[in-house]
């Protein structure tokens, strides 16, 4: 299903002079209609809406009869949650909420949950109900129903909830993630899922469960072993420019994360990259880059398991055009503090728009190939 490409959230906010809190604040968007492109008894391909290069949103339904929600399919987290009618936060007033009393298959589990993300936190209680993706129904799925969603990220986000696709060990309460239940309930022929994230208006983004459509990539998939089955974590050999290593010296760890829009890494190394691409600090984690650099700077190459994955300057530098004002360009690299015992790189949507990705749980590996 074709998805219309629109301006990035950062672009919209810059045009409105609302740079402060850029990562956390996003303008409201109307509800989207999602159509399933392909379905068989053992696989489901679900279209995703590209929300201005900041998030990719798809449809699910919870309960009997089904209540519809828009969620981020997130490989950087594990749990599934949606807002509940009992939520008192302003965020829940802007989104669809789940009403347990209207579902004949609902069961409360009398447990609380709290999940902290990079841009906000959610807390509430756990329940069990049927969850539907396309025509595929996962029975007795544990999910969180939010009571509190503080902050602007949840209030102004284009999504109602988040559907996590990382490993079970990352679950906050030891619950069985939805993908594991898909497999255990015999709903899939293969224990895999895949993402095609497009920035082209004529081609729609897609998440695929139980199978892969090879028309979405070119060449052969190159497989990378998971180094630690918690996140979708891999070993990266190096990051280089013009054949010279500029970051990840001697190897480093990275997670492949569909829920993160940029490429993020340890602050010192990202700042070194920004210096090389002539990045100038503007606000918070925002860095201006001369716009001519989009056409003159070389690819930045991520070497993973011995294979090179180049990302062009036109992808790692974002061009912003504002009517009546001079155009500006911003880096799509983000410095961050380490959130684990060792510094991690995050290969987010900036990277994944260039490379089709397959997540193979049966063999604990990730497949990558150039996206069409």
Q: What is the pLDDT of residues 280-292, one digit of tens each?
A: 888 777 899 999 9
Question: What's the confidence (pLDDT) of residue 203?
Answer: 58
The one catalytic residue in 160, 180, 257, 360 is 257
Task: Label residue 137 exposed, middle or buried (CB < 10 Å: 0-12, 13-18, 19+).
Answer: middle
Q: What is the DSSP pairing of strand 252-256 with strand 344-347? A: parallel
Beta-bridged to residue 236, according to DSSP, are: 252, 304
Confidence at residue 37, expressed as pLDDT on a 0 to 100 scale: 41
- List CB contacts of 255: < 8 A, sequence separation 6 or more: 76, 231, 232, 233, 234, 344, 345, 346, 347
Tell me what pLDDT residue 337 has: 72
Of 53, 74, 349, 360, catalytic: 74
Structure tokens at 278: 């002539």
Residues of the chain where predicted confidence (pLDDT) is lower than 70: 1-41, 118-119, 200-203, 322, 338-342
What pLDDT is stored for residue 152 in this prediction? Answer: 76
pLDDT of residue 155: 81
pTM of the model: 0.87
Contact 274, 297 (CB under 8 A): no
Residue 302: which of 223, 357, 237, 253 has the closest Cα?
237
User: What distance lies between CA 355 and its chain's CA centroid?
Assistant: 14
pLDDT at 26: 34
- Residue 201 is predicted with a pLDDT of 55
Q: What is the pLDDT of residue 341?
A: 53
Domains 9-209 and 217-370 share a fold: yes
Determine whether 42 is an active site residue: no
DSSP letter at 209 equals E
pLDDT of residue 157: 86
Question: Architecture of domain 217-370 in CATH?
Answer: Beta Barrel (2.40)
Q: Could you confirm whether 180 is annotated as catalytic?
A: no
Asked if 167 and 230 count as a contact pair (C-beta separation under 8 A), the reply is: yes
What pLDDT score does 94 carry? 87
- Provide the mean pLDDT of the chain: 87
The dihedral region occupied by 363, where left means phi > 0, alpha psi between -120 and 50, and beta the remainder, is: alpha
Residues paired with residue 133 on neighbouring β-strands, in sequence order: 136
At 280 the pLDDT is 87
Evaluated on CA atoms 20, 23, 27, 28, the torsion sign reads negative
Among residues 177, 81, 194, 89, the alpha carbon closest in space to that of 138 is found at: 177
Architecture of domain 9-209: Beta Barrel (2.40)
Q: Which residue ranges make up each domain of the chain?
A: 9-209, 217-370
**Residues 6 or more apart from 272 whose CB is under 8 A from it?**
246, 247
The pLDDT value given to residue 2: 35
């Amino acid at each position: 299903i074709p998805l219309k490409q629109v301006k990035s959230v950062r672009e919209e906010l810059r045009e409105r002079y609302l740079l402060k809190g850029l990562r956390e604040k996003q303008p409201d968007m109307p509800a989207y209609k999602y159509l399933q492109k392909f379905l068989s008894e053992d696989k489901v391909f679900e279209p995703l809406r590209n929300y201005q290069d900041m998030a990719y949103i798809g449809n699910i339904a919870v309960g009997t009869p089904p209540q519809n929600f828009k969620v981020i399919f997130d490989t950087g987290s594990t749990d599934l949650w949606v807002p509940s009618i009992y939520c008192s936060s302003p965020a829940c007033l802007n989104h669809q909420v789940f009403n347990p009393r209207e579902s004949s298959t609902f069961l409360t589990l009398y447990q609380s949950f709290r999940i902290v993300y990079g841009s906000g936190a959610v807390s509430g209680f756990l329940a069990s109900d049927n969850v539907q993706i396309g025509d595929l129904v996962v029975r007795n799925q544990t999910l969180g129903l939010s009571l509190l969603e503080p902050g602007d990220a949840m209030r102004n986000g284009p999504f109602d909830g988040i559907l996590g696709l990382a490993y079970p060990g990352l679950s906050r309460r030891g619950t069985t993630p939805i993908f594991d239940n898909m497999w255990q309930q015999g709903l899939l022929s293969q224990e895999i899922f895949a993402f095609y994230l497009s920035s082209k208006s004529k081609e729609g983004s897609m998440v695929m469960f139980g199978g892969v459509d090879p028309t979405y990539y070119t060449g052969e998939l190159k497989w990378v072993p998971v180094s630690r089955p918690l996140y979708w974590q891999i070993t990266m050999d190096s990051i280089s420019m013009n054949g010279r290593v500029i970051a990840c010296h001697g190897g480093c760890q990275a997670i492949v994360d569909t829920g993160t829009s940029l490429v993020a890494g340890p602050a010192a190394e990202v700042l070194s990259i920004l210096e090389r691409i002539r990045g100038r600090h503007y606000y918070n984690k925002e860095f201006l880059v001369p716009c001519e650099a989009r056409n003159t700077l070389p690819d930045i190459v991520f070497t993973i398991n011995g294979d090179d994955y180049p990302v062009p300057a036109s992808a790692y530098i974002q061009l912003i055009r504002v009517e009546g004002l001079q155009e500006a360009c911003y880096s799509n690299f983000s410095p961050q503090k380490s959130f684990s015992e060792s510094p991690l790189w995050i290969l987010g949507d900036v990277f994944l728009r260039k490379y089709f990705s397959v997540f193979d749980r049966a063999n604990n590996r990730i497949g990558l190939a150039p996206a069409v």
